[in-house]
Amino acid sequence: MSVKELFDLSGRTALVTGGSRGLGLAMAGALGEMGANVIITARKPDELDAALVSLRSRGVEARRVVGDLSRPEQVTALADAALEAAASPIDILVNNAGATWGAPAEEHPLEGWTKVIDLNLTGTFLLTQQIGVRSMIPQRYGRIVNIASVAGLKASQHMRAIAYYTSKGGLVNFTRALAAEWGRHGIAVNAICPGFIPSKMTKGVLDKISALVVASTPMRQLGDPRDLEGLVVLLAGAAAHHITGQAIAVDGGASVV
């Protein structure tokens, strides 16, 4: 197999959660550009429709499925719809959908904790289980990429988001545990841990501390959604043949200082 073939995703089908904007949309575009059949899912139909237009401008024809992963009762129907849209097994699952909630630990409401954990951990687990059982395990092949965060690797005295930090730390170890269990099925499971990247979710925080973040990052810059594109392509294809259980930071070096 040539090096180019290691990154060729032609004939593979990818499902990207939270694929209507930001990191999810960027990664969906990258997978599509490398030949994958792409399905994106999110809660809002209008945002998904806008995402399809954006992907089409990159030469990627994708399909969309509406669903709310934070509601366990909707996950099976979402998986049903995704598999129907794919009309084939799903080979690549990018678990990108996520939520956050800002509050000091001593004041953090149960509502916020539940919202974050239900989506970032429980929804991710349930959908991964569905796609694993119904697509990847039977065909003895799969690539699962969990979008965690540097918040899953280290804490920060400047952030007040204990549910988010907990969920992302859990997602990193979910990645390791699943890699250990499902490796025998030919399934590679890895996590990408982005640092601060401007997005709708991070805007409120970055408006307050962007200068501090840049100053404490060795590369002296914030990230960009497209910074994840090359890595997700690597982890989604044949290039990840012997890579599993890893949590890879994309943060300009912030997690090493």
Residues marked as catalytic: 165
- Paired with 92 in beta bridges are 14, 143
Q: Amino acid letter at 14?
A: A
- Give the Å distances, CA to CA, from 118 to 10, 58, 144, 227, 238: 33, 33, 19, 27, 32
Tokens of 231: 């890595």
Q: Amino acid letter at 118?
A: D
Determine contact, residues 108/29, Cβ cutoff 8 Å: no
The number of CA neighbours under 13 Å toward the Cβ of 21 is 13
Pairing label, strands 247-250, 187-194: parallel
Query: Residue 66 burial (CB < 10 Å; 0-12/13-18/19+)?
Result: middle
Pick from 88, 34, 89, 23: nearest CA to 60: 34
- Paired with 193 in beta bridges are 249
Give the separation between CA 148 and CA 235, rounded to whole angstroms. Answer: 14
Report the helix count and the strand count for the chain, using DSSP H and E. Answer: 10, 7
